[in-house]
Structure 1
Amino acid sequence: MREPGISHPRLPLPSPGQEDDPAAFLAWLGEAIPMVGHLGIEAMQRDGDALEWRLGLSPNLNDKGTGFGGSLAAQTTLLGWCWTTLWLRRHGFDRDVVVAKAEQRFLAPVTGNYRLVCTPEAEEGPARLGARLAQRGKGRIALVQRLWCGETLCLEARGDYAVLPAG
């Protein structure tokens, strides 16, 4: 059981040229952030610069039988944190990431299982983050998360994620 004020041990970086195993990363994430086990994440996959979660609606229901906005907002924020953390890990950085700003726009009710996709807001965002880390030892990236229920875009979110200096 996690204790307030005590950091959870970091997951070791993957070997150079290797990527994180999605199942192992999600298992670690569930230990590091206890609420993760209650979010209904069924799968995680990466495709280029996109990170996707597949989620079940049942654990995220509101009183109307649709997706609970607070749960969906937490998922978008956490997925952006995961995108940034996994990007850093692929590039050999063992750094802390924090969300600096997050906002959501709810467009349609979530009425079934769904997928949440996170991508950089700007195509050059990852390269800019890498350059900032090389120059200043810290950086920031803007990410967009989109929640799809079937072919319907139900939620669009944006977050700024800060990478803290080593130390």
Structure 2
Amino acid sequence: MFDIDRLVEDCRQAIEQDRTHKSVREVIARAVSDPGAVLAAMGEPKRAGLSPIYRSPELTILNLVWGPYMTLLPHDHRMWAVIGIYTGREDNIFWRRIETGEGHHIEAAGAKALATRDCAVLGRDVIHSVTNPIPRLTAALHVYGGDFFAAERSEWDPETLDERRFDVDAAARRFEDSNAALTRGQ
């Protein structure tokens, strides 16, 4: 049976033993191996958004829900992340930095589709964009090796691929726009 408080404690203990993502990945993989139990504890997702479960300078745990067909621009976290899907699907495009005479740009470097029960690790320097490719909500546990909300981050313009400071307000609007579309579709 999945227990949110137990998850938090297991993640906290994991990073006390190993500051890297390795032990946290084991905790999250174990949790999403029974997606029905996580769904029962977290509740059926109703809206896109990110809900903090735990936050400290060393660790952030989120319940993140992607709206149908929602896309988040290429961005970085500047800390490791572990993602465990407990319902739906999340497609990631991975990007790498390239230097041009015009500044810092990125180019596509790979992709990975995550489905229910999948668990993935992103290193501290990973740049990725995320799309929910299905017509329903996707929910996942996201764990970060630091304070997700306090970190300086970058995002990249979807047309020019120019680097800029991560716009928290614009990201929040993407979730709200997705919720508005979801409401219109019901």
TM-score scaled to structure 2, two decimals? 0.27
Determine which structure has greater relative contact order: mean sequence separation of CA pairs < 8 Å that are 6+ residues apart, divided by chain length.
Answer: 2
Q: Which structure: greater strand fraction? A: 2
Q: TM-score, normalised by structure 1?
A: 0.29
